[in-house]
Structure 1
Amino acid sequence: MSRAKNQNLRIIGDAKKTILFAHGFGTDQSAWDLIYPHFAPNYRLVLFDNIGSGKTDPNLYSHTRYSNLYAYAEDLIQIMDEIELKDVLFIGHSVSSIVGLLASSRRPDLFQKLAVIGASPRYLNDENYIGGFTQEDLNQLYGAMETNFFTWTAGFAPAVMKNEDNPELAKAFEATLRQVRPDIALSVAKTIFQSDHRKDLPNCKHNILVLQPSADIAVPMEVGKYLEKNLPNGKTIHIKSSGHFPHISAPEQVLEAFKGFID
């Protein structure tokens, strides 16, 4: 059970059907604390931390290995094989949404269907594609992370969390972000923001529900439309929530959107 141990795997319940939760950048499995208890009566729940985040050993992180998202997809497949999962409902946020899509394309037997939140196949703008960022935007972000990581987290957290009326949400995100070693955070950010997985979308044959927040600084509305158009069995639901973390800031809306698809 080396992979499970390395990634702080947590299994709740012993139901026949399984939901696996995968968190996004700067968070850990605690990001699902307002979501997963609602499924506990009927599902076995599996949560974990991505290598380099949460309570994982930072020495397990390799800048070379994790220079692309396929490595995270391999980790996910190894976890599922190690605990013998099949026909799983996958729920992923942000970068882990794409990781789930990559893993499901490579090992479709492991997945039944997927629900993803704030997913983006490419963050950089391109010809006839709006990803939300220019290369100059990203270079400035990387520079700020390198110059003073902790000052950067203080500005980045409220910008992506939004919900100014509840500043404690941004503070909580800032706290988990600061748990990541600065050089690892920068490396992961570059891997995420420089990735382009548009070509991989047609390979995802499972039913996929895409939740698109109405005001997300990281993933504009156009991205949700692009996903629905390019995923063979994708459906996008727009939810009226502010920020990149609706499962934290607006869990009721997320759960409502999940109804019918998950059960």
Structure 2
Amino acid sequence: MSVIRRNNVVVSGHGEKAIVFSHGFGCDQNMWRFVAPEFETRFQTILFDHVGAGKSDLGAYDPEKYGDLHGYAEDLVEIGEALGLNDAIFVGHSVSAMIGALASLKAPDMFEALVMVGPSPRYIDDIGYKGGFSPADIEELLASLADNHMGWSMAMAPAIMGNSDRPELGQELADSFCRTDPAIAKAFARVTFTSDNRADLPRVTARTLILQCKDDIIASEAIGEYVRDHIPGSTLVVLDATGHCPNLSAPREVVAAIQDFV
């Protein structure tokens, strides 16, 4: 199967250099619609859907392959190989930030720079590390998602989005969650929220920008600082934005920060 069709890859823009945008859990490439077009005059822009999301081929979903984040990173590398990417820029939101880091380790020449939007290398607290959630919190979250996908989506999306004064944003995220296949969403949620990529951070050699929001219940500012402190030479920028999805809630701030970096 063509990887282009499998991951619903969409290529736009102009320029010799490419910039790849990768969405987070429960979302699809539509979440970049306020950001990606701003780069089309300077870059070849590439958007795609992770298998199981958006208009990807659901039939390509393999529970074993996608049992950890490496399966998604392998897809990203395959997309890059199909498009002949070299020294490209990768922009990953939420869990995709770690997927991009893993892909950069698998294919070091493919991405010369990483932009991590709201990253977290581990969501569960550990000795000397504050991920934001206890093991019991995560198991409760996963059990609730498995028991009532729609109800979980409607309850959690506004909290994740933040910006309670703009309820339409939370509703859009809830709608996106609800469009995701429940079985795949359940599996991807477990992979996402039980992942631990802390040991991978010091191995990243691509120059890296970390974009962090204020009052983000998924990835706190302290986590952004942790990522900065463990990726050599990386830079942390705290956006004038709240919640976990600044690509929707504060796209101008995201665009400006990326433009300054690239």
How far apart are 1:247 and its partner, in Å? 1.1
Residues 27 and 53 of structure 2 are in contact (CA less than 8 Å); yes or no, is this contact kept in structure 1?
A: yes
Per-residue CA deviations over 1:15-48 (Å, capped at 9, x if unaligned) read: 2111111110111001100001111111111100
Contact 1:130-1:223 within 8 A present in 2 as well: yes
Partner of 2:13: 13
What is the CA–CA distance in structure 1 between the aligned matches of 2:65 and 2:140, rounded to whole Å? 25
Give distance in 1, aligned partners of 2:57 and 2:261.
35
Shift of residue 14 of structure 1? 3.8
In structure 1, how many angstroms separate the alpha carbons of the residues matched to 2:146 and 2:83? 38
Say if 2:116 is the partner of 1:116. Answer: yes
Partner Cα separation in structure 2 for residue 63 and residue 91 of structure 1: 25
Cα deviation 1:169-215 (Å, max 9, x = unaligned): 11111111111111111100000111101001111011100001111
Alpha-carbon offset, residue 233 of structure 1? 2.1
Cα drift, residue 59 of structure 1? 2.1
- Asked whether the 8 Å contact 1:85–1:110 carries over to 2, the reply is yes
Q: Tell me if the contact between 1:153 and 1:177 (Cα under 8 Å) persists in the aligned partners.
A: yes
Alignment partner of 1:257 is 2:257: yes
Q: Which residue of 1 aligns with 2:216?
A: 216
Per the alignment, residue 60 of structure 1 pairs with 60
Aligned equivalent of 2:25? 25
Q: Hey, what does 2:163 align to over in structure 1?
A: 163
The equivalent residue for 2:180 is 180
The aligned amino acid for 1:33 is R
Q: Is the 8 A contact 1:29 1:49 kept in 2?
A: yes
Is this contact kept in 2: 1:209–1:235, CA < 8 A? Answer: yes
Letter in 2 for 1:161: M
Matched to 2:178, the amino acid is R
Distance 2:154 2:90 in 1: 31
Q: CA deviation at 1:256?
A: 2.1
TM-score by length of 1: 0.97
Match of 1:190 in 2: 190
Secondary structure at 2:112 match in 1? strand
Name the SS for the 1:260 alignment partner: helix
Deviating above 6 A after TM superposition, structure 1's stretches of 4 or more consecutive aligned residues are none
Matched residue, 1:150: 150
- The corresponding residue for 1:225 is 225
Aligned to 1:38: 38
Partner amino acid for 1:213?
C
Structure 1, unmatched stretches of 5+, are: none
Q: TM-score, normalised by structure 2?
A: 0.97
CA RMSD of superposed structures (Å) = 1.0
Give me the whole-angstrom Cα distance separating, in 1, the residues matched to 2:5 and 2:56.
9
Q: Structure 1 counterpart of 2:43, which letter?
A: Y
Question: Distance between the aligned counterparts of 1:208 and 1:37, measured in 2?
Answer: 22
Equivalents in 2 of 1:79, 1:37: separation in Å?
20
- The one-letter amino acid paired with 1:252 is R
Q: Is the 8 A contact 1:206 1:233 kept in 2?
A: no
